[in-house]
Chains A and B, each alone.
Chain A
Amino acid sequence: MTLNIEDLQQIARIEKSKKDGFQHRINVCLAAGCLSCGSGLIKEALEKEVTRRGLDSWCKITGVGCLGLCAEGPLLSLPTSGSYYQGVQVSDVPEILDSLNGSPVARLVCPAETPFFQRQVRIVTENCGRIDPERIEEYIAEDGYAGLYQALTQMTPQEIIDQVSGSGLRGRGGAGYPTGLKWMSMAKAMGSTKFIICNGDEGDPGAFMDRSVLESDPHRVIEGMVIAGYATGANQGFIYVRAEYPLAVKRLRLALSQAERMGMIGNNIFNTSFHFNLQVRLGAGAFVCGEETALIASIEGRMGRPRPRPPFPVEFGLWDHPTMINNVETLANIAPIIRRGSQWFAGIGTEKSKGTKVFALAGKVVNTGLIEIPMGTSLRDIVFAIGGGIPQGGRFKAVQTGGPSGGCIPEQFLDMPVDYDSLAQVGSIMGSGGMIVMDASSCMVDVARFFMEFCMSESCGKCVPCRVGTRQIYDILGKITASRATMAEFTMLEDLCDLIKNTSLCGLGQSAPNPVLTTLKYFRDEYLAHIHDRQCLAGACKKAEEVL
């Protein structure tokens, strides 16, 4: 079956009128966060209660994707009245239904006028929490696949690449390579078989942006991939997701089968001559498989270990064919760019970093959860306005961005705009978007040790500096936190960081010392206090004597 634009519009119309037919709608967050605190049961209870009261045609209960404020789950939203409920229990269900026509249940209301909701600009997550991710019709009703239709029927591949280049979109996986350039070199790559891979191997501790997008709006990623395939001449795509995201995988597979049935993937998409096939591939949860050459090896069925670049995957990738790898969030930006034009996208953000970025806000901050903000928002706004500040009146100490490859940014840079270049300037990276806030009770040496432990156990073991060097660094950090280290070992620590940074094989190895390097730069006194005075300034570390 192949659809044309009228069919799409028809589906959207029907879906919208169906929605409008209900006096009230209640959206229950069914993303992993809320699901784990029982939102599934709440949805069930709501549905039962509605049926029991015979209100089926009056009130519609929908399971939706992530509403963002994961800290206060389970979350409900009432799009008809615009209010949110937080921390809902099954016992609250009758009360919620009772109040639909009156004023909302006061004790459950989650204030929607707060900066957390007001300051966000939603592009990637525009449908998150608004549509049922398990129904393609709802995605179509929100202009879904209109971008793909437009791209396939009205644009040449070059025009699409121009749009993407013009939008200034940069890779959201971490390094920030301009997406347009990547697409351009892929389009130019020689070869009749080309592959596109969506990198959903989100391995950073504390990061869950890709998971939320895949769980809440999987069709958006599929649409982005098909457009990418058309623009670059690829006919086969793989979505590489970690097996630890079972819900994302389930919804993605469901979405794929729906899209296939409607002809959004397969042969002669929208009656054009363009074919595109998509498959889901599961990763076994190795951090290193987020590195593109290791990811390729993993899809090929080999051990997930990186290989030296060049040659880059764009010339020599999956099964030796040209292969382009884009992050989930990057691909999720494509459809809106095609639909609304590059100028619109380029109007958001800063001069060199366009658009928005999704962050997983976590750590010592009041509002932990998923946020999407324009590039260039200051760290202070993110932590204090959107994040609601430090809980229990604690003092802000640092924010860690970019996961184990990123760095810790101290208080003095709070007013720095968050974009690729500013973060790189202070020694961190944008990364995939994990953001961990730390307060005065965190010892920065201990934080560095945590990340180094991660890098050590996730090192693939291929190259010597990363395999052995991370272990040696971890040992030294362990000694420092136990107040047993000497200055000689401290010098050795800096020396090892330099070695790993300069001689490791892949990007992950080269960036593995970043958490140590940034804490050394901004919190050197904490290291020295452990060594000279044998004490932890934050009071977090135990001395060796106490441990024994």
Chain B
Amino acid sequence: MKQHPPKKVRSDLNPSRLLTFKIDDRDVTAHEDETILSVARQNNIIIPTLCHLDGLSERGACRLCIVEVRGSTKLLPACVTFPRQDMEIITNSKRVINYRKKILELLFTERNHVCSVCVANGHCELQNLAVELGVDHVRYPYLYPRHDVDASHSRFCIDHNRCVLCLRCVRVCDEIEGAHTWDIMGRGMTSKVITDLNQPWGTSETCTGCGKCVQVCPTGALTEKGKSVAEMSKRRQFLPYLQMMRGRQGGSWQK
């Protein structure tokens, strides 16, 4: 997976500038190569995210982290946007909050998210986002697509009904584990994450069985076998550490 936006290597020859700007009327200082999201988090300003995960490349696809910039009607995804000097960023205007709610509601309608019977109930980022954004019902009609469950792997299971297509599994498998077992096929609503060339996970020859995909999955789509309702909690603390130890920087292996 390619790293976007590209990270500049900071060096004496290529020093990064310090910028001062505002997030929610608070004065902040940051390097020019830090994203708005990361600066906001350092300053305890919460911007909801779903496809973003510290330690993986950015995708800018879930659109939940959109923020407003004063003087512009364009909304920018905080996870892939770099600040400019004197920029005034608004992370919690009515407008962006409304849009975020609608996007989240669309996600709920897309597949069959039944929290009450889900193994990840209580440990699910999608569920938590609904609480965080105050989504207490979904205004759009549910689409009820038919999706499969692949339980062919000896230890893990994927339930496509609960997948939000954040592609964290694809990224962690490629960028951290280096196996690239996961990928995505299809287009639009018919997109689907697959193992190898769309063959049962249990028959995959590239899967190392490391289980990183399961840990990074925000919902109950990727789970360990043997877990019952609300038992599937996830551990992700290994990720930034692994990334550092494996020397990956700027989206390419440092040789």
Contacts and interface: CB of A to CB of B under 8 A. Distances in A.
Direct contact of A and B (CB under 8 A): yes
Contacts of A503: 63, 66, 75, 99, 103
Contact of B63 (A316, A463, A475, A496): A463
Contact of A286 (B61, B140, B187): B187
Contacts of A303: 184
Given A461-B187, A503-B75, A505-B61, A302 B2 contact: yes
A9 interface: no
B141 A475 contact: yes
Contact of B99 (A286, A311, A502, A505): A502
Best-buried of A456, A460, A461, A499 by chain B (most CB within 10 Å): A461
B99 A468 contact: no
A470 B188 CA distance: 9
A457 interface: yes
A321 to B, nearest CB: 11
A65 to B, nearest CB: 33
B95 to A, nearest CB: 9
A499 B139 CA distance: 14
Interface of B: 2, 4-6, 59-63, 66, 75, 77, 80-81, 99, 102-103, 106-107, 109-110, 139-141, 143, 165, 184, 186-191
A308 B80 contact: yes
A242 interface: no
A33 to B, nearest CB: 29
Contacts of B190: 461
18 contacts: A303-B184, A307-B2, A457-B187, A457-B188, A458-B187, A459-B187, A459-B188, A460-B188, A461-B187, A462-B59, A465-B106, A467-B165, A471-B188, A472-B106, A472-B141, A496-B102, A503-B103, A505-B61
Interface string A8-22: 000000000000000
A402 to B, nearest CB: 21
Interface string A288-302: 100000000000001
A223 B81 CA distance: 38
Interface in A462-495: 462-465, 467-472, 475, 492, 495
A interface SS class:
helix
Given A458-B187, A467-B191, A471-B189, A504 B63 contact: yes
A462 B188 CA distance: 7
A456 B191 CA distance: 12
Given A461-B186, A464-B106, 8 more contacts: A303-B184, A310-B5, A460-B188, A464-B62, A467-B191, A468-B109, A475-B141, A499-B99
Interface string A380-397: 000000000000000000
Nearest to A509: B63
For the complex of A and B, 9 pairs with smallest distance between CB atoms: A461-B191, A459-B188, A468-B106, A308-B60, A461-B188, A308-B80, A468-B110, A462-B61, A307-B4
Contacts of A496: 102, 140
Nearest to A471: B189
Contacts of B186: 461
A472 B5 CA distance: 31
Given A303-B184, A472-B140, A467 B110 contact: yes
A505 B143 CA distance: 22
Nearest to B111: A468
Contacts of A92: none
A495 to B, nearest CB: 8
Contact of B6 (A320, A458, A460, A470): A320
Contacts of A472: 106, 109, 140-141, 143
B106 A502 contact: no
Contacts of B140: 472, 492, 496
Given A310-B5, A471-B189, A472-B140, A505 B63 contact: yes
B46 to A, nearest CB: 19
A354 to B, nearest CB: 28
Nearest to A311: B5
Contacts of A462: 59, 61
Contacts of A311: 4-6
